Amino acid sequence: MQGIPAMLGLLLSATVASVDQLKFLHDTLESVHKEMYISTLLVMQRHQRQSAPDPLQPFYPLAWPTLRIDKGPSVEITRETTYKRPALALVYMDAYEDTVLLDALAESFNDMRVTRIVIWLRVPVSEQLLATICQQATEHSFLNLLVLEGTTSAHRLQPFPRAHFQSIQIQMSPHKIFPIPWLNFQGREAKTQVSLRPPQSFYWKDPLTGGERCSGYIYSLMRTFAEKRNISLVLLQDTAGEAEMDWTTELNETIRGGDLDLPMTGHFANLRGPNQSRINALVGIITITIAVPCGQELRLGDLFISICVPTMIPYMLVNYLCFTVAESLLGAIYNIWAHRRRRFRCINMLLNLRVLRSILGMAGELPLRHRTATALGQLVVCMSYAGFLTATLFGAHLSTLLTMSPQYRHIHTIKELRDSNLTVVFNRMSLSVITQKVDPDFVSSQLPNVQLMLVKDQMDLVTSLNTSYAYQVFAYSHDTLWSAQHHSIRRALCKSRHLDLIRDIPYSIVLQQNSVYGLALAHFVDWTWSAGLLAHWYSHAVHDMSYSSIGPHRYLPQPIGARPIALQDYKTGWTLLGAGCLLAVCVFIAELLVARRRARIVGRN
């Protein structure tokens, strides 16, 4: 603003307007700048030829970067200016035909309808002219618009509930020139409709009263948003055709036609149509995955073989080999140092009872009478410590097996799913995401057996835990599949990370492009995230969905039948005990034979 007062001396020589009018414009721009700084000034004038007057000639050099355009080809300005660098559009009108500049301004200010606009009129103001400007402001959803007339008069646009102009005195008014318009919509009507996509918005029957009402976390979001921002929601009733409408396909056309102002549904941010708002009201981040039937429950023996054996056997073998080699090396070093000749026997490497006894956690003797007592004794201590760790690890695995939830033998990878020829139920929105963002041929090559369903029908099958199909579902914390099975430790449908198709996709509210509710809804959604309301609404919607008529029948797998312990249950234990005793007897006999042979050899020598 330093350059503007310095050039006020040129006002007397200006041919565009009088001194008072220029001073009024200067004071208005300065007041607007004090409210919120102007980073970019967009000047619009219908004639940009050399002979046309320049309304800003007395103000040069300006304090802001200035962009000058006319009604010709539009210049698209990015929406980041709205948040990071607030701009201001100065529209110069010296004829009634200059109202076409608002059309050009609308093309340049896509998704920036809250940007401040100042119209400087150089023609007499009439009711017809203000009505024309008001009509164009309504058509283009301009929210912050100010008309300057003469030297003292100004007309500010009041966009809600219906657009009209209000005369204000800028210098005498204690209020802001451009107040935030979307904090109070003053009862403006907004059309909406339940999307029948649980848990977003759906109808459910109260199990106690039998009455039907609306529920869903986006339904609660829209209802609270309307209450806080003074919006009158008009809930459209479902007709026979609309009740069966697949919102994933018809949503773009519905919003484009203006049939819905606040749809009670969301969409993937990367699949927005050309006529949808670019202002993100993020309501979640989800993962597209596939839930498959869990199959048969694994028995304890199968779990032991699949979990303990792959972990314990390699660990014990590595310890056995390391300690056997270490003991053999120490023995060889001792023989060399003592000048004793002793043959190396492979049987000592294959069957070393001292090492085996230590690894199994049994006590080992310390060779205190030999010259290698220190080194060999430390080795025995290390072997005993390794055996202690092995026994502890085995006990931890065994305790985990005895206390863990039931495990199932189900499909874990896409290849297994393809080989199983199991039908996978998709909805159209998820299928379009995969074909457009992953691979157009992914479904045909990896999932040849795909069936499309409406979202409501798909959710009915999922919540009823029907195991005849595999289902494309959205995975996130406490999702629909979890809510249908969390009351039981057993599962009918299971998920695996190797079945994830796309991870961490932003999910946002869908609005019409340049909607007057866009920025207000985005700020309100951010506030609900910080207050924890979205998580609360979601858990409440999941509760309603779980205990309503959406999924009245759930088919959880039957647990393995429990029966009293009989003698036959100890058959495996007695077999292992007998085998161990037999092995101990054989080892004892072998040690006696080896000791007798050594005694004979010593007697001969």
Q: Tell me: pLDDT of 552 over 50.
A: no
Measured from the Cβ of residue 230, the count of other Cβ atoms closer than 10 Å reads: 14
Of residues 333 and 231, which shows the higher confidence score? Answer: 231
**Residue at token pair 């309808």:** 113
What residue type is 284 in one-letter code? G
- Put residue 465 in one of left, alpha, beta given phi > 0 → left and psi -120 to 50 → alpha: left
User: What is the pLDDT, as a whole number, of residue 254?
Assistant: 64
3-state class (DSSP) for residue 448: coil
Measured from the Cβ of residue 245, the count of other Cβ atoms closer than 10 Å reads: 17
Cβ–Cβ under 8 Å, residues 380 and 366: yes
Measured from the Cβ of residue 582, the count of other Cβ atoms closer than 10 Å reads: 10
Closest CA to 99 of 137, 151, 60: 137
Contacts (Cβ under 8 Å, ≥6 apart) of 210: none
Contacts (Cβ under 8 Å, ≥6 apart) of 189: 161, 231, 232, 233, 234
Closest CA to 295 of 404, 406, 403, 405: 406
CA 72 to chain CA centroid, nearest Å: 42
Beta bridge partners of 451: 425
**Residue at token pair 């076409």:** 100
Q: Tell me: pLDDT of 125 over 70.
A: yes
- The CATH fold of domain 3-179: Rossmann fold (3.40.50)
Q: Which tokens belong to 364? A: 């080992």
Of residues 462 and 219, which shows the higher confidence score? Answer: 219
Give, in degrees to the nearest 5, the angle at Cα 81 between 76 and 86: 125
HEC-encoded secondary structure of 145-211? EEEEECCCEEEEEECCCCCEEEEECCCCCCCCCCCCHHHCCCCEEEEECECCECCCEEEEECCCCCC
Lowest mean per-residue pLDDT among 35-44, 214-223, 309-318, 499-508: 309-318
Predicted confidence band of residue 527 (pLDDT cuts 50, 70, 90) = very high
Q: Tell me: pLDDT of 561 over 60.
A: no
Contacts (Cβ under 8 Å, ≥6 apart) of 399: none
Q: Which tokens belong to 416? A: 């297994």
3-state class (DSSP) for residue 217: helix
Can you spell out the DSSP letters for 286-355? EEEEEEEE--SBPPHHHHIIIIIHHHHHHHHHHHHHHHHHHHHHHHHHHHHHTT------HHHHH--HHH
Of residues 556 and 424, which shows the higher confidence score? Answer: 424
What's the pLDDT tens digit per position in 201-238? 888 877 777 778 888 999 999 999 999 999 999 988 76
Q: Tell me: pLDDT of 535 over 70.
A: yes
Cβ–Cβ under 8 Å, residues 147 and 155: yes
DSSP class of 59: G
HSE-up (13 A, CA, CB side) for residue 481: 26
Domain ranges in the chain?
3-179, 300-405
Cβ–Cβ under 8 Å, residues 498 and 412: yes
Cβ–Cβ under 8 Å, residues 223 and 236: no
Lowest mean per-residue pLDDT among 5-19, 85-99, 235-249: 5-19
**Residue at token pair 């088919």:** 555
- Put residue 284 in one of left, alpha, beta given phi > 0 → left and psi -120 to 50 → alpha: left
3-state class (DSSP) for residue 106: helix
Lowest mean per-residue pLDDT among 31-35, 99-103, 318-322, 513-517: 318-322
Cβ–Cβ under 8 Å, residues 226 and 155: no
Lowest mean per-residue pLDDT among 326-335, 425-434, 552-561: 552-561
The verdict on pTM exceeding 0.75 is no
Q: Tell me: pLDDT of 87 over 90.
A: no
Look at strands 202-205 and 188-192 and give their pairing.
unpaired
Lowest mean per-residue pLDDT among 338-342, 348-352, 481-485, 501-505: 338-342
Predicted confidence band of residue 524 (pLDDT cuts 50, 70, 90) = very high
Predicted confidence band of residue 149 (pLDDT cuts 50, 70, 90) = confident
User: What is the pLDDT, as a whole number, of residue 233?
Assistant: 92
User: What is the pLDDT, as a whole number, of residue 443?
Assistant: 82
Most confident of 115-119, 168-172, 322-326, 338-342: 115-119
Backbone angles phi, psi at 307, to 5 degrees: -110, -55
Of residues 39 and 190, which shows the higher confidence score? Answer: 190
Query: Long-range contact list for 358-364, CB < 8 A, 24+ apart?
Result: 358/323, 358/383, 358/384, 358/386, 358/387, 359/316, 359/319, 359/320, 359/323, 359/383, 359/386, 359/387, 359/390, 360/387, 360/390, 360/391, 361/387, 361/388, 361/390, 361/391, 362/387
Q: Tell me: pLDDT of 81 over 60.
A: no
- The span from the CA of 538 to the CA of 183, in Å, is 25
**Residue at token pair 């646009």:** 157
Predicted confidence band of residue 78 (pLDDT cuts 50, 70, 90) = low
Beta bridge partners of 506: 285
Predicted confidence band of residue 476 (pLDDT cuts 50, 70, 90) = confident
Q: What is the maximal distance between C-alpha atoms in the chain? A: 136
